[in-house]
């Protein structure tokens, strides 16, 4: 996906429980990071990890 003309990364909307969001903000701030930094790093790990096989031995759908 191309970067928008503004040069900024597009905004996304996700639903996160308040307590989890606040805890993530506090921990990220203590590490000198933002929640965006944490979420992007987690998504990189998620998409880079091998996909688990289904119980029937077939590759996952999608």
Quote the pLDDT of residue 3.
Answer: 58
Task: Please tell me the distance from the alpha carbon of residue 49 to that of residue 62, in angstroms, as a whole number.
Answer: 15
Residue boundaries of the structural domains of the chain? 18-48
* pLDDT attached to residue 20: 98
Cα R_g (the chain), whole angstroms = 16
Could you tell me the pTM of the whole model? 0.70
Tens-digit pLDDT string for the chain (62 aa): 555 667 788 999 999 999 999 999 999 999 999 999 999 999 999 999 988 877 776 766 66
């Amino acid at each position: 996906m191309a970067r928008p003309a503004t040069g900024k990364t597009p905004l996304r909307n996700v639903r996160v429980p308040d307590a989890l969001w606040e805890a993530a903000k506090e921990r990220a701030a203590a590490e000198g990071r933002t929640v965006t930094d944490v979420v992007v790093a987690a998504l990189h790990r998620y998409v880079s990890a091998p996909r688990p096989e289904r119980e029937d031995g077939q590759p996952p759908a999608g």
